[in-house]
Amino acid sequence: MPSYAYDRLSAQDNSFLLWETPYVHMHVSSTMVFEAGPFRTADGGADIERYKRATEAILHRVPRYRQKLHWIPGFQHAVWVDDPRFNLDFHVRHTALPKPGTAAQLKRLSARIMAQPLDRRRPLWENWVVEGLEGGDHFALITKIHHCMIDGASGMDLSQILMSPSPEPADFEPPPPFIPKPAPTRAELVRSEVGRMLGTPFRALRDFQRFTEESDDVREELRTRLRAIVKMLGMGMSADATPLNGTVGPHRRFDWWRVPLADMKAIRHTLGCTINDVVLTIVTGAVREYLLLRGVDPGSLTFRVSAPVSVRNAEERGKLGNRVSSWVIELPISEPDPRAQLEALHTETARLKEERTALGVETIMKMADFTPSTLLTLGARSASGPINTIVTNVPGPQFPLYLQGAKLLEIYPQVPLLGGLGLGIALASYDGTVHWGFNADPDVVPDADVFVEQIRAAYARLARLAPDAPTKPAPSGRSKAARPARAAKGGNGSAATAAT
């Protein structure tokens, strides 16, 4: 069978399929708010046909958008094949909020869309154009794409294919015709996979030779990777039970918050740390206060977060798929002082960076490419670590993006909930603003809005340690449906209306 007819998923990409259960959906999502601009119709709606043409015009640049999964018989592994029945209307949806079209309504709609699984019989993405936002001058775009296709960095790269830094609408050029390549038969997939397994020793030897050529000190590199794996596996396979953890069900609640990036950078410079240290300190303070509100002693348990770390190099920019590792970080929730929290986290993240701890997950996933597919689930589970939540922070472009002339104003990311995680936190910085997205299971965390309030309060406490840090207004032009209250002087962050 010609190899061009399909692409085998990497072990890491495939692991996101194996993690999925009826209630754990491994797609990443975002809710974006745009100025209506050229998408405004005469009746105040959003021009869905214009959006479809814009999407159709770039599909040839993202071939994965017209490919679907085929499973290799007898193996827990999938390949990508062209979808001969690809229909753009299935993937681009159009809906509207009922009046008055508030932020709370948009959050509820986002949560319902996020709670639904993607259809594995089709390409694994959906985009929902939402009109009816309060004020009538904006529309929203809710995106869903399976994690087996992208990570945070490739998702940001993808956004710059779909959008442009130019405010001028681009002309629609006729896209090249889509001629789907033939899919392999079941027998051909099995034969290819068996041949791949037989060739595993040769591939492993070739990769090890490349590894030795690229390493300055092979022994030290091997020791570093082994220490990272041992340390990660030494944490065990389970995390302490907390009010933020439990059996994940079918429902979701989505909330968001935003803060000027300049304010967070000022805190970073004043306190001598990184933006990630600031983020983790804010989360630490929020978790601590939330546990106290729920009657739990923060000193009685260990609370760990997974902080994804991109290992994508320059040559891999713009490519889909996952090139991500992670740090597993124990938050100092027993410490009440935000300065002491920050110092502890700064010391820990500096140690993790110096010891290259992220190599543990990366090495396990590389090893998974050489193991039978039936062992991949165990490897993926161990790579996720014993965690209580995920905190992912993806830097985006610090200049405006436009969708066919419609300016992107806000982008609130959503990270999927793994089994046992009742809350996930994702951040995306864009055009001078840090956007926080909170994905929760309301049956596990029924008061996610309270947690968001604790995030705001923790940010205010940390900002007070940097009194010279400027507090700028949120960027102008935000949609009325998603406009937060102005931050109080002294660094207290602003928050959009909480979901109800």
Q: Domain tally for the chain?
A: 2
Once rounded to an integer, what is the mean pLDDT over residues 118-145?
A: 95
Going through 230-382 in order, the beta strands assigned E by DSSP cover: 253-260, 304-310, 324-330
Name the domain boundary from 138, 162, 186: 162
Write the Ramachandran bin of 10: left for phi over 0, alpha for psi from -120 to 50, otherwise beta. beta
195: nearest Cα among 187, 206, 207: 187
Helix (H) or strand (E) holding 426: strand 423-430
Most confident of 128-142, 230-244, 325-339, 345-359: 128-142
Residue 73's alpha-carbon distances to 15, 193, 287, 372, 442, in angstroms, are 17, 10, 45, 13, 38
User: How far is C-alpha 266 from the chain's CA centre?
Assistant: 25
- CB neighbourhood size of 405 (10 A): 18
pLDDT tens figures, 215-235: 666 666 566 556 655 565 555
pLDDT of residue 377: 53
pLDDT of residue 15: 85
pLDDT tier for residue 12 given thresholds of 50, 70 and 90: confident
Asked whether the predicted pLDDT for residue 498 surpasses 50, the reply is no
pLDDT of residue 71: 94
pLDDT tens figures, 270-307: 999 999 999 999 999 999 999 999 999 999 999 999 98
Asked whether the predicted pLDDT for residue 355 surpasses 80, the reply is no
pLDDT tier for residue 196 given thresholds of 50, 70 and 90: confident
Asked whether the predicted pLDDT for residue 206 surpasses 80, the reply is no
Name the domain boundary from 127, 162, 197: 162
Report how far residue 169's alpha carbon sits from residue 47's, in angstroms, rounded to the nearest whole number. Answer: 14
Asked whether the predicted pLDDT for residue 190 surpasses 60, the reply is yes
* Residues noted as catalytic: 147
Q: Average pLDDT, whole number, for the chain?
A: 82
In a domain, 276, yes or no: yes
pLDDT of residue 192: 87
pLDDT of residue 490: 34
470: nearest Cα among 455, 489, 485: 489
pLDDT tier for residue 28 given thresholds of 50, 70 and 90: very high
More confident residue, 246 or 215: 246
pLDDT tier for residue 171 given thresholds of 50, 70 and 90: confident
Once rounded to an integer, what is the mean pLDDT over residues 318-339?
A: 78
Shared domain for 28 and 146, answered yes or no, is yes
15: nearest Cα among 301, 376, 348, 311: 376
Token pair for 53:
């043409």
Asked whether the predicted pLDDT for residue 495 surpasses 60, the reply is no
Shared domain for 150 and 263, answered yes or no, is no
Once rounded to an integer, what is the mean pLDDT over residues 161-186?
A: 87
Shared domain for 136 and 266, answered yes or no, is no
The answer to which of 5-19, 375-389, 413-427 has the lowest mean pLDDT is 375-389
In a domain, 186, yes or no: no
In a domain, 245, yes or no: no
Cβ(331)–Cβ(304) below 8 Å: yes
Residue carrying the six token digits 């996979």: 193
Report how far residue 354's alpha carbon sits from residue 356's, in angstroms, rounded to the nearest whole number. Answer: 5
Shared domain for 144 and 267, answered yes or no, is no
Cβ(185)–Cβ(344) below 8 Å: no
pLDDT of residue 326: 74
Asked whether the predicted pLDDT for residue 398 surpasses 90, the reply is yes
In a domain, 239, yes or no: no
What single DSSP character describes residue 358? T
Give the CATH number of the domain where residue 151 resides.
3.30.559.10
In a domain, 190, yes or no: no
Residue carrying the six token digits 């609640």: 253
Residue 65's alpha-carbon distances to 27, 142, 160, in angstroms, are 14, 16, 15
pLDDT of residue 386: 84
474: nearest Cα among 492, 448, 447: 492
In a domain, 469, yes or no: yes
Most confident of 106-120, 221-235, 341-355, 376-390: 106-120
96: nearest Cα among 50, 51, 131: 131
User: How far is C-alpha 474 from the chain's CA centre?
Assistant: 23
Which residue type sits at 398?
A: Q
Percent of the chain with pLDDT over 90: 58
Q: How many C-alpha atoms does 322 have within 13 Å on its Cβ side?
A: 27
Report how far residue 500's alpha carbon sits from residue 481's, in angstroms, rounded to the nearest whole number. Answer: 15
In a domain, 188, yes or no: no
Once rounded to an integer, what is the mean pLDDT over residues 108-112?
A: 98
pLDDT tier for residue 486 given thresholds of 50, 70 and 90: very low
Cβ(14)–Cβ(376) below 8 Å: yes
- CB neighbourhood size of 269 (10 A): 12
Residue numbers of the domain that contains 312: 253-354+385-397+417-495
Sequence-distant (≥ 6) Cβ neighbours of residue 494 within 8 angstroms: 257, 258, 259, 456, 474, 484, 485, 486, 487
Name the domain boundary from 107, 132, 162: 162
Asked whether the predicted pLDDT for residue 381 surpasses 60, the reply is no
Q: Which residues of 423-457 are buried (b: 16+ CB within 10 A; e: fewer)?
A: bbbbbbbbbebbbbbbbbbeebbebbbebbbbbbb
In a domain, 482, yes or no: yes
| Cis? peptide before 100, omega within 30° of 0 | yes
Cβ(448)–Cβ(111) below 8 Å: no
Cβ(9)–Cβ(76) below 8 Å: no
Residues 449/450/453/458 CA torsion (nearest 10 deg)? -130
pLDDT tier for residue 89 given thresholds of 50, 70 and 90: very high
Interstrand relation of 78-82 and 7-8 (parallel, antiparallel or unpaired): antiparallel
Give the angle 58-77-56 at the CA atoms, nearest 5°: 10
162: nearest Cα among 32, 254, 45: 32
Report how far residue 462's alpha carbon sits from residue 72's, in angstroms, rounded to the nearest whole number. Answer: 51
Q: Kindly report each contact of residues 204-210 with a partner whose C-beta sits within 8 Å and lies 24 or more positions away, as own/partner.
A: 204/370, 207/366
Asked whether the predicted pLDDT for residue 470 surpasses 70, the reply is no
Give the CATH number of the domain where residue 453 resides.
3.30.559.30
Token pair for 319:
């490519």
- CB neighbourhood size of 500 (10 A): 10
Looking at the DSSP assignment, which residues form a beta bridge with residue 34? Answer: 139, 408
Asked whether the predicted pLDDT for residue 31 surpasses 50, the reply is yes
